[in-house]
Structure 1
Amino acid sequence: MQELINQIREAFDAVPQPSDEELLHPDCMDDCDILQFYGGVRWQDMSDEMIVYNYAALSAFSPKAFRYYLPAYLLWTLRNADSIEYVGEAALRALDPGAPTEMLHDFRKSHYSDLDAGQIEAVKVFLTLLGNHPDLGEYADEALLNHWLEA
Structure 2
Amino acid sequence: LSQAPLGPQFPFSGVDDREDWPSVFYNRTCRCEGNFMGFNCGECKFGFSGINCTERQVKTRRNIFQLTASEKNKFLAYLNLAKNIPSQDYVIATGTYTQMNNGSNPMFRDINVYDLFVWMHYYASRDTLLGGSNVWRDIDFAHEAPGFLPWHRVFLLMW
**TM-score past 0.5 threshold:** no
Larger radius of gyration: 2
> If the length of structure 2 is used for normalisation, what is the TM-score?
0.25
Q: Pick the structure with more strand per residue.
A: 2
Q: Which has the higher contact order (CA 8 A, sep 6+)?
A: 1
Q: Pick the structure with more helix per residue.
A: 1
> If the length of structure 1 is used for normalisation, what is the TM-score?
0.26
